[in-house]
């Protein structure tokens, strides 16, 4: 694959850069994710400018462009330090799964407000007894007349406190073997019997939640696939989660390493300039070099995606390497700040930017598959080693 922009891609990149200069001129890193309403407004601005659903087929409201355009979008917005999209679970996981498995009615009803950020989605996969081992899901759905009755509990569900819809993995056949008894529902989060309890993370933000379902009635036609297809549908979601997020992750790491270089050139409150220290220069160079390797691994994933339309298992490599690199980079930034690294909020360097990311990065090696689980996937499905179980 030739990685250089074609003339049309270069024009798209230039147009996007101009748009970002006008709409996202500031480039000042500050702590925190930003309040949801300002994120929603930003997400809508992106949508109205045509930068959401770039690769989605035109019949579903997208622009029908190749994945290389999405990669350009992610590179340019990350380089500019633009904030993320509020509907990230909808865009990257629920949407592609509904496109792959949904009925035309489900697609017509659900995809337009997902793209425009009028409806937010969350992912209800994990449970207290089912995280890495999704096959152990115990939340049940029982068919009664024209609806499913859902009972159970989910946990760690990001954005559930803001969500209108949930992609929910449930057990519909308690007698079938583990994975065979699962099904995949699209659940209206405003239904009676849905209770969301935010969990405060180490960052202080309540970004993820517990969700309790008590006799929740879900219309019988709200399933993706048939009863018992839940595992296969969920795999579509997870491949997209790890695969299409690859570019976002590489671009985000590039941005963090750029900022690390910027920080190293700055004079710290104790009068030191970290870049004067050869050990710091060496550590930054090591992370930068690894980023280049990750970038090309990511291009390899992009090649699979462009050829097949489906992310390959090598997306797990990007997620694994990125998450561990991000933890090292944020730790290095705080070391560079010296004693000032212990301050957060007022008086801290860059308004607590690195403090926030250091704490948030702890979850990077857990969310979307833990590092141990990803190493198993890489060993078995990318390298072709014998199965562990
Ligand atoms: C910030 C964040 C956001 C999240 N958002 C969501 C969300 O929106 N929706 C959602 O459904 N979930 C979400 N999760 C949950 C996440 O998917 C789970 O935490 C993850 O899958 C691990 O499951 P667990 O926490 O139950 O740990 P467990 O699966 O119990 O794992 C415990 C430990 O055992 C190890 N382990 C488990 N199985 C194996 C194995 N086969 N081989 C080797 N080691 C193993 C793990 O690596 C880990 O170290 C989120 C998590 C975080 C941190």
Q: List, as one string, the DSSP characters of 10-71.
A: HHHHHHHHHHHHHH-------SS---HHHHHHHHHHHHHTT-SSTTS-GGGTS----HHHHH
Q: Which residues contact 50 (CB under 8 A, 6 or more apart)?
A: 63
| Residue in 253, 240, 386, 388 with CA at minimum distance from that of residue 316 | 240
Q: How far is the CA of 373 from the centre of ligand 1 (A)?
A: 9
CB atoms within 10 A of CB 273: 13
pLDDT at 180: 92
Q: Any idea which residue has 């990669």 for tokens?
A: 71
DSSP for residue 130 = B
Q: How far is the CA of 365 from the centre of ligand 1 (A)?
A: 9
Query: Which of ligand 1's atoms lies nearest the C-alpha of 372?
Result: 47
CB contact set of 345 (below 8 Å; sequence gap of 6+) = 31, 351, 352
User: Which residue has tokens 């890495």?
Assistant: 132
* Cα(221) to centroid(ligand 1), Å: 30
Q: What backbone phi and psi angles, to 5 degrees, belong to 344? A: -125, 160
pLDDT tens, 141-156?
999 999 999 999 999 9
Q: Kindly tell me the burial class for residue 45, based on how many C-beta atoms sit within 10 Å of its own C-beta (0-12, 13-18, 19 or more).
A: middle
pLDDT in tens, 181-231: 999 999 999 999 999 999 999 999 888 999 999 999 999 999 999 999 999
Of 300, 293, 292, 298, nearest to 1 (Cα)?
Answer: 300
215: three-class secondary structure by DSSP: strand
Distance CA 90, CA 218 (A): 19
pLDDT at 341 over 80: yes
Among 119, 127, 241, 254, the one annotated catalytic: 241
User: Region 170-186: what's the mean pLDDT?
Assistant: 93
For a ligand 1 pocket test, name from 131, 199, 375, 387 the mutation site with the most ligand atoms within 8 angstroms of its C-beta. Answer: 131
Alpha-carbon distance of 316 to 303, in angstroms, equals: 15
Closest C-alpha to 183, from 145, 210, 152, 214: 152
pLDDT value of position 99? 94
Say how many Å lie between the CA of residue 232 and the centre of ligand 1.
19
Per-residue pLDDT, 192: 98
**149: which 2 tokens?**
């009755």
Largest CA distance in the chain: 72
Q: Whose CA is nearest to atom 40 of ligand 1?
A: 373
Half-sphere exposure of 99 (CA within 13 A, CB side): 26
Q: State percent of the chain over pLDDT 90.
A: 71
By CB atoms closer than 10 A (0-12, 13-18, 19+), residue 322 is: buried
Based on the residue annotation, tell me whether 241 is a catalytic residue of this protein. yes
Nearest residue by C-alpha to atom 35 in ligand 1: 372
pLDDT at 31: 60
Who lines ligand 1 at CB under 6 A?
122-126, 131-133, 156-158, 208, 363, 366-367, 370, 372-373, 376
Measured by CA distance, the residue closest to atom 20 of ligand 1 is 131
**What pLDDT is recorded for position 4?**
86
Of the residues 33, 249, 323, 367, which should be mutated to test ligand 1's pocket, given the most ligand atoms within 8 Å of the CB? 367
Cross-strand pairs, 346: none
**Closest alpha carbon to 314 in 377, 361, 362, 384:** 377
User: Do 356 and 36 form a contact (C-beta atoms < 8 A)?
Assistant: no
Nearest protein Cα to ligand 1, atom 13: 156
What are 185's two structure tokens?
Answer: 């529902």
DSSP 170: E
Say how many Å lie between the CA of residue 246 and the centre of ligand 1: 19
Task: State the CB neighbour count (10 A cutoff) for residue 229.
Answer: 17
Give the C-alpha separation, 56 to 255, whole Å. 26
The closest-lying atom of ligand 1 relative to the alpha carbon of residue 130 is 26
Rounded to two decimals, the pTM is 0.93
The length of the chain is 389
pLDDT (tens digit, 9 = 90+) per residue, 9-59? 999 999 999 999 999 866 667 666 568 888 899 999 999 999 999 989 999
């Amino acid at each position: 694959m030739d990685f250089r922009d074609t003339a049309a891609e270069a024009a798209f990149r230039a147009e996007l850069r101009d748009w970002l200069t006008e709409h996202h001129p500031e480039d000042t890193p500050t702590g925190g994710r930003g309040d949801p309403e300002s994120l929603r407004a930003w997400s809508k601005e992106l949508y109205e400018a045509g930068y959401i659903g770039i690769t989605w087929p035109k019949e579903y409201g997208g622009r029908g462009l190749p994945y290389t355009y999405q990669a350009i979008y992610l590179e340019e917005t990350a380089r500019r330090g633009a904030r993320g999209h509020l509907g990230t679970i909808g865009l990257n996981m629920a949407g592609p799964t509904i496109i792959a498995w949904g009925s035309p009615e489900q697609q017509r009803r659900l995809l337009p407000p997902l793209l425009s950020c009028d409806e937010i989605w969350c992912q209800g996969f994990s449970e207290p007894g089912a995280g890495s081992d999704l096959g152990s899901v115990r939340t049940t759905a029982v068919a009664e007349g024209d609806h499913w009755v859902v009972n159970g509990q989910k946990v760690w569900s990001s954005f559930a406190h803001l969500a209108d819809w949930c992609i929910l993995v449930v057990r519909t056949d308690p007698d079938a073997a583990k994975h065979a008894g699962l099904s995949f529902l699209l659940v209206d989060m405003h239904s009676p019997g849905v209770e969301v309890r935010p969990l405060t993370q180490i960052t202080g933000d309540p970004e993820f939640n517990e969700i309790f379902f008590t006799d929740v009635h879900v219309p019988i036609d709200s399933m993706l696939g048939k009863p018992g297809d839940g595992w296969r549908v969920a795999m579509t979601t997870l491949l997209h989660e790890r695969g299409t997020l690859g570019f976002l992750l590489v671009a985000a790491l590039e941005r963090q390493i750029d900022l690390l270089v910027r920080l190293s050139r700055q004079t710290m409150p104790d009068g030191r300039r970290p870049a004067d220290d050869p050990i710091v220069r060496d550590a930054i160079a090591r992370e930068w070099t690894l980023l280049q390797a990750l970038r090309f691994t990511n291009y390899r994933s992009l090649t699979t995606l462009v050829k097949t339309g489906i992310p390959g298992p090598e997306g797990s490599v990007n997620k694994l390497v990125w998450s561990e690199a991000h933890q090292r980079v944020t730790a290095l930034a705080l070391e560079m700040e010296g004693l000032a690294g212990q301050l957060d909020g007022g008086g801290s360097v860059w308004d607590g930017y690195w403090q926030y990311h250091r704490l948030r990065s702890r979850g990077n090696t857990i969310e979307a598959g833990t590092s141990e689980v990803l190493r198993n996937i890489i060993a078995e499905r990318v390298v072709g080693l014998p199965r562990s179980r």
